[in-house]
Structure 1
Amino acid sequence: MTHIRSHLLAAFAVAGLIVSADAIGSSALAQASGCEQGQKIIAERRSLGEQFQKLSNGGKNKQLDPRAACSLFTKFSANGESGLKWMTENKDWCQVPDKVVEDFSAEHKRIQTIKGQACGAAAKMAEMEKRAKQRAQQAQQGGLAGKMGGGLTGTLSVPKGAL
C-alpha cells in the first residue's frame, strides 16, 4: 500500500500546476463579452484546486486517501474536458492565447494520468478491504478449516494431560 501512496504523492506533486490555472486564463478570458462560460470553467478549476490543497494539507499530507483523490481528479478531468472544448470553440472570439490552450491541454493530460493512478489505488484498496472482510467473516464463522487448524485464523487444540 505504501508503494501505491508513494506513486500518488509523486503524481500530486505534478498536480501542483492545477492551482496555476488561476494565472493561465482568467485575464485572457475576461476580455470579450460572451466569454463568461470560460470564466466559470476557470472558477470551478480554481475551486477544485482549493479542494486539492485542503485534501493534501497544502502539500504537507503524505498519506492521501486515494478514494477522495480519485473523486477529486475525476471532477478535474471533467472540468478539463469542458475547458478544452470551450477553448477550442471560443479561442478566437475570446482572444485566448495559443500558449494558454497548450498549457491547459498539457495540464489536462497530466491530470488524466493522475486520475488513473488515484482511481487505480482506490480500486486496489477497495479490493483489499473486501478480502479482509471476507476473511474476518470466515474467522467468525469458525468453519471446519478453522477447527482443523487450516488457514491463518483457525485454532488447534493441544491435548491436556500427560503425553
Structure 2
Amino acid sequence: MADPGAASRLSCNGAVEHVHEDRAGRVLHRLREPRRPPAWMVRQVRCRDGGCTFPGCGTRAFTEAHHIAWYRFGGRTTLENLTLVCAFHHRLVHEHGWTIRRSPDGGLAWLRPDGTAHVPGPVLRGADVDPGGEPVTYGPFGEPGSPRPAPSPRMLPLPAARAGPDP
C-alpha cells in the first residue's frame, strides 16, 4: 500500500466517475468529469510554461500538468488552473505539503508547508554575473566567456498553430 502522499500524487492524473443510484442500486445518472486534461490542453500548458514552473528548475523531462487548485477539492481542469511540474517538484506538492498559487497577473508563487513563499537563489550555471553586472556564460569545460550552445530544435516551443485543439 502506498503512503498517503504517494497515493495523492499518483491519483492526481486519475479519472473520477460520479454515479447516482437509487436505493435499489439502479444507476439513475452517470457523470464523468475530466480530471485528466486532454492532449491539446497539455500541449498548451507545455507551450506556455516551457518546463517545470518551480523557480529555478525549468526541466522539460518527466513533467506533468498539475492542478493548482486540486481537482478533488473543486479545482477545475482549465488552462488557468494547470501548471507544468517535474516529477521531483510534483512530489514536493503531494508528499511534502508545498502549495502553488496563481496571482491575478498569471504569475505563480510556490509556498513552503509553513506558508512562506519560496525565493530562488542564484542560478548555478550559465547566468552568473561578474562584478561589473554583466552576465557571464560558461562553456562545457567552465571557461568564462564561452558562448552557450544554441538550443536543440527539440527543445524549442511548438508554434502556436500546432498547439491548438486536437482535430
Q: Classify the TM-score, shorter chain.
A: under 0.3
Give TM-score, length-normalised by structure 2. 0.26
Q: Whose relative contact order is higher, 1 or 2, with alpha carbons under 8 Å and at least 6 apart?
A: 1
Structure of higher CA gyration radius? 1
Report the TM-score, using the length of structure 1 for normalisation. Answer: 0.27
**Which structure is higher in strand share?**
2
Higher helix proportion (structure 1 or 2)? 1
